[in-house]
Amino acid sequence: MIRAPHATLSSAVGRPRSLDMALLIIAISTICSVGFLVTRVGQLAALDQQVRQLESFGTIVDDEMYAALRSWVPYRPAISAGVIVIGWPTLWVGLAAIMKTVARLRGGAASARQVGFRGGAAMLRPSFAQVLTVVVHASAVFAVRSIIAGPLNYARESLGGATSLSTVMPAFAESTFPARLLGAVDIFVVWWIVLVAIGLSIVYETRTLPIARWMLGAYAGGAALLALTQALRGGI
């Protein structure tokens, strides 16, 4: 997926399967996440992250709330593992279903021409298993992110944001809207979107750019909305 994504996705789509890759991604991500959260640094980072998230939305964290948040710290490794083991497969299936539905709704020839598809009828032929295979195989980058983010988070004594644009482009003050916007954009999510676009272009026999443009636009819009909400609630 890193060196030859097109060839890898073409092979996977030709023989759609996702269970083996899904188990590998989940195993690596769970081990990295839990391994960090069981350390003292990870526990303090998790607590600090919760406080900062609440404060970013304008919530005042008093002593009582802080004590309540602190009481949940020992359970964070189990919660994180549950989110990955249960949440990720559910998300993958949901995203694949949405993508399949959108493709079906745009199956007409006129709609196909508008988004750059070569043939509307071709959009109806790919199976759900093929779309799910693309989503899961593209998610291999999240296993890579877990391996990279673990040591970075430990060194920074912080949880989250290690692979965001704000880490590589620290040009703005932390509480400003541009900083929040960069912090809401994860480099690996952008990479995942590009890989999914490549995979869907293979499945539906079309160009990659129109798909990537729509998906990146939706992600950028969501990131901007989140950053704006945090800025407004934070009084910026």
pLDDT digits (tens, 9 = 90+) for 25-82: 999 999 999 999 999 999 999 999 888 878 776 778 888 899 999 999 999 999 999 9
pTM for this prediction: 0.84
Looking at residue 2, its pLDDT comes to 81
pLDDT digits (tens, 9 = 90+) for 160-182: 788 988 877 766 656 677 777 88
d(CA 147, CA 23): 16
In order of 36, 117, 217, the CA distances from 101 in angstroms are 38, 15, 19
d(CA 217, CA 228): 16
Total domains in the fold of the chain: 1
Per the CB < 8 A criterion, the answer to whether 200 and 131 are in contact is: yes
Range of the domain at 111: 5-233
